[in-house]
Structure 1
Amino acid sequence: MRHFRHLDRTTLDRLFFQVPQPFGDGDDRGRLAVALGATLYVPATRGDLTATILRRAGEGVTSMVLDLEDAVADDEVEQGLSNAVATLDELAAQGDAPMLLFVRVRTPDGINRIAGALGEGVRVLTGFVLPKFTSGFGREFLDAVTRASELLRKHLYAMPVIESTSVVHRETRDEELRAISQLLAEYRPHVLAVRVGATDMCATFGIRRDRDLTIYDVRVVVDVIATIVNYLGRTDGTGFVITGPVWEYFADHERMFRPMLRATPFEEHDAVLFRQQLVSRDLDGLLREIALDRANGIQGKTVIHPSHVAAVHALSAVTHEEYHDAVDILDADTGGVRASEYGNKMNERRPHRTWAQQTLVRASVFGVTNKGVSFVDLLTALVIR
């Protein structure tokens, strides 16, 4: 698997100083978590699920969740479970995994049943998404993932979704996140990333955020996200990769506020019309939210529409400037400060060292753009093909 593999070689050479490198579910856990990028959720009940996965892989999707929880009605869960198993087996029969594939189950028993029913499909299964994860109920989920790994003789990953009221409510948040942190530490080799369920968090307060706002404008929710990153996203060896919450919108609408995309970068790249297209499809808000995810220590994002994938991946590529700053910072471990070769900032070798290390991991899976190439160029190549 490789990001941007659907672009032709000429386009890759034009865009990238260093092209993205391959990855797979046998990679280092930290690198694989960063490689998730935009994780597309699809109902496990879809009748054309195998064809959908193969088609999306050809369009640049590199991680997908077959959803048996919120996307599936209660009376369709059994059908969805059978369909998920059949799809994984069909994909395995056709060759290597086309992308990183996960199943979001409702209960630990769902993991047991899938593991017991899978045939060759285990070769293309990366792991499970664990919804409404809590310190009280989470161990059952994680034990089920561990047992499934042993049964199927493959290392399977878990991605718990933090979205319960015990985390949202201020009076129980710290105690609950402390307990979740301790629990996840016990199962660290199986925990690929921690996902944030902002939609359920909003539901606690009867909120549905408007498409003119990012999740970072909803204070009661962003306070929760900040605390999750504080407890679970630390870079001292105790934390995990935290992935961004879903952006819910993808259709045209009448706007109340100004678009969130500055016009200047598009004017500089003769892409004013392209900017208008992004705004009309509500992707300006998504782009803004992705940038804020990164600023708040979050990597990758849950997506529910294929049109969102290009935005997440375009903003995940490491710029020429970021890459050279990271290399400069890691060039020595004696501390000190040196001006960036771009002449616009100071690189402090000790405070910025962890950032630089993480940037080079991201560069290995998403590539490094050529000097002068911006997210506008990447988006144009990905969206207008």
Structure 2
Amino acid sequence: MKNRLSPWNLGATLYMPATRQDIVDAVIHGKIPGLRSLVICLEDAVSEADIPVALANLEQLLQELNEARRTQGNNDWPLVFIRPRNTEMGKWLIEHQQLMAIDGFVLPKFTLSSLPVWWAIMADTHLCLMPTLETEDVFDVVQMRELAITLLAHPCHERIIALRIGGNDLMNVVSLRRPRHLTLYDSPMGYVIKMLVSVFGPRDFSLTAPVCEHIDDHAVMAQELALDIAHGLVGKTAIHPRQIEVIEQALKVTQGEHSDALRILNSTQAVFKSQGAMCEPATHRRWAAGILERVRVYGFLNEQNAEGIRVLPLTQHK
């Protein structure tokens, strides 16, 4: 179970509104190829007027998933999370629904002040947590440092798979929308992601990358994915099944990366040259361990057939 709930198993995390009627097919019957994790969303993807319909649909969905789990197990399923609308809805779900087939909750608008409320709701469950960083205080490095220190010492720490970066909500805080032909890193989110990695990364928290809302522009998304990986992010939010393959390809490992990782982890030399670059096991060991975890889950990139996901200069998309 611990290996199943590794952050490396998230991949492209597809968000599906709880009003959808095909979620069971996606989970049990493999309707969406390559799907590793999904979030049944009761928050931004569902209008206030549709909440009763969404909750009724979720109840039926849970009955089907629970029965399938009892008879089939769920080791081959994608990871399944629910994103409640708020703490009140989270509490109601815990108290009124059978969640045995659910792996965890995505916690919206997560802050230091909401931590004790969420933990009071979830402490006695089996559910893992994916808090979403998407409020105004995320822009404040002091508040993020305080949150990271608090989470590290809190009993919820062992239940956190990853922290999700809510790109669209954060852009909304500063009255912006992501540029159509640029990556998020060319916006204020570039600072935010770098800061969050600097604050949470050294404390061994995994962070997932924000969604790319431009569904049909895979070239820009490939550019952004390359930057996501360069920043050490694990997995990426998806809003359409067509994005899954692009994200999966970006998470694959090149033969060169794998070769370097093996040499770094097994070398007795303090420093050596490989493929035209310096390798220093003392400083590259954690990177190398991550590469081996990525190749275990995603495999190797077929570099001869990878032209569709190669990073292109952004000027070519304008």
Counterparts in 2 of 1:296 and 1:374: CA distance versus 1, 3 Å: farther
Which of 38, 49, 56 pairs up with 1:64? 38
Q: Give deviations 1:284-333, integer Å, cap 9, x for gaps.
A: 0111100000111212101101100001111111121111110100003x
Counterparts in 2 of 1:345 and 1:175: CA distance versus 1, 3 Å: closer
- The one-letter code sitting in structure 2 at the alignment partner of 1:51 is D
CA contact (8 A) 1:184 1:191 kept: no
How far apart are 1:206 and its partner, in Å? 1.6
| In 2, Cα distance between equivalents of 1:287 and 1:357 | 24
How far apart are 1:63 and its partner, in Å? 0.2
* Structure 1 match to 2:313: none
CA contact (8 A) 2:109 2:133 kept: yes
How far apart are 1:202 and its partner, in Å? 0.9
- Helix, strand or coil for the counterpart of 1:351? helix
Which of 151, 160, 167 pairs up with 2:131? 160
The correspondence of residues 91-170 of structure 1 with structure 2, limited to 5 A, is: 91-94=65-68, 95-97=72-74, 98-119=77-98, 121-122=99-100, 124-147=101-124, 149=125, 155-168=126-139
* Structure 2 match to 1:304: 239
Counterparts in 2 of 1:81 and 1:174: CA distance versus 1, 3 Å: same
How far apart are 1:41 and its partner, in Å? 0.2
* Structure 2 match to 1:375: 306
CA contact (8 A) 2:25 2:31 kept: no
Counterparts in 2 of 1:289 and 1:56: CA distance versus 1, 3 Å: farther
The correspondence of residues 1-385 of structure 1 with structure 2, limited to 5 A, is: 25-27=1-3, 32-54=6-28, 57-94=31-68, 95-97=72-74, 98-119=77-98, 121-122=99-100, 124-147=101-124, 149=125, 155-168=126-139, 173-185=140-152, 186=154, 187-218=156-187, 220-234=188-202, 238-250=203-215, 281-332=216-267, 334-340=268-274, 343-369=275-301, 372-373=303-304, 375-376=306-307
Counterparts in 2 of 1:66 and 1:80: CA distance versus 1, 3 Å: same
Bigger mean CA offset, 61-70 vs 225-234 = 225-234
| In 2, Cα distance between equivalents of 1:223 and 1:56 | 38
CA contact (8 A) 2:32 2:241 kept: no
Counterparts in 2 of 1:34 and 1:319: CA distance versus 1, 3 Å: same
- Helix, strand or coil for the counterpart of 1:315? helix
Runs of 5+ unmatched residues, structure 1: 1-24, 150-154, 251-280, 380-385
How far apart are 1:191 and its partner, in Å? 0.6
Runs of 5+ unmatched residues, structure 2: 311-318
CA contact (8 A) 1:243 1:300 kept: yes
| In 2, Cα distance between equivalents of 1:284 and 1:232 | 29
How far apart are 1:166 and its partner, in Å? 1.6
CA contact (8 A) 2:165 2:207 kept: yes
How far apart are 1:138 and its partner, in Å? 2.3
Higher relative contact order (CA 8 A, sep 6+): 1
How far apart are 1:335 and its partner, in Å? 4.9
- The one-letter code sitting in structure 2 at the alignment partner of 1:231 is V
How far apart are 1:227 and its partner, in Å? 1.2
- Helix, strand or coil for the counterpart of 1:233? helix
| In 2, Cα distance between equivalents of 1:295 and 1:283 | 18
Aligned length: 303
| In 2, Cα distance between equivalents of 1:52 and 1:75 | 25
CA contact (8 A) 2:26 2:32 kept: no
CA contact (8 A) 2:12 2:247 kept: yes
